[in-house]
Amino acid sequence: MIYVIDLDGTLCDTKRNKVGYWDYIGAKPYLKRIKFVNKLYQEGHTIIIETARGCDSKKDWSDETFSQLKKWGLRFHKLRTGKKFAADLYIDDKAVNSVDFFKDVNDI
């Protein structure tokens, strides 16, 4: 199975700094979640980490983010920024399940 997993707010706690910018380097990992993702990796699933880091600022955070994930011990196949790609599951702190979203729409 292919898992596409959001980073900030999903695998780590990322806060804004005093001037309002995201403090990506200071993000704190959710270690139990990382351990869970590593188990999926070990089971043979494809793990893709997606982050919008740099989408607004146009700064390329790829190298810093890659190093950060390795430091946290996260095992993954790809790191992507700026787009959503096809996957079997999306895990994201801002996602809404379609059944919940359309709970008041009776077209099924």
pLDDT digits (tens, 9 = 90+) for 54-77: 877 788 899 999 999 999 999 999
State the average pLDDT for the chain: 87
- Tell me the HSE value of 7 on the side-chain side, using a 13 A CA sphere: 30
pTM of the model: 0.81
Q: What is the percent of the chain with per-residue pLDDT over 70, rounded to a whole number?
A: 87
Query: How deeply is 20 buried, as exposed, middle or buried, from its count of CB atoms within 10 A (0-12, 13-18, 19+)?
Result: exposed
Cβ proximity of 59 and 28 under 8 Å:
no
pLDDT digits (tens, 9 = 90+) for 13-61: 999 999 988 999 999 999 999 999 999 999 999 999 999 888 777 888 9
What ranges in the chain are assigned the alpha helix state H? 31-42, 62-71, 98-101
Cβ proximity of 35 and 75 under 8 Å:
no
Q: Which two tokens stand for residue 10?
A: 């999903």
Q: Give the chain's largest Cα–Cα span.
A: 48
Task: Please report the domains of the chain, with CATH numbers, ordered by start residue.
Answer: 2-95 (3.40.50.1000)
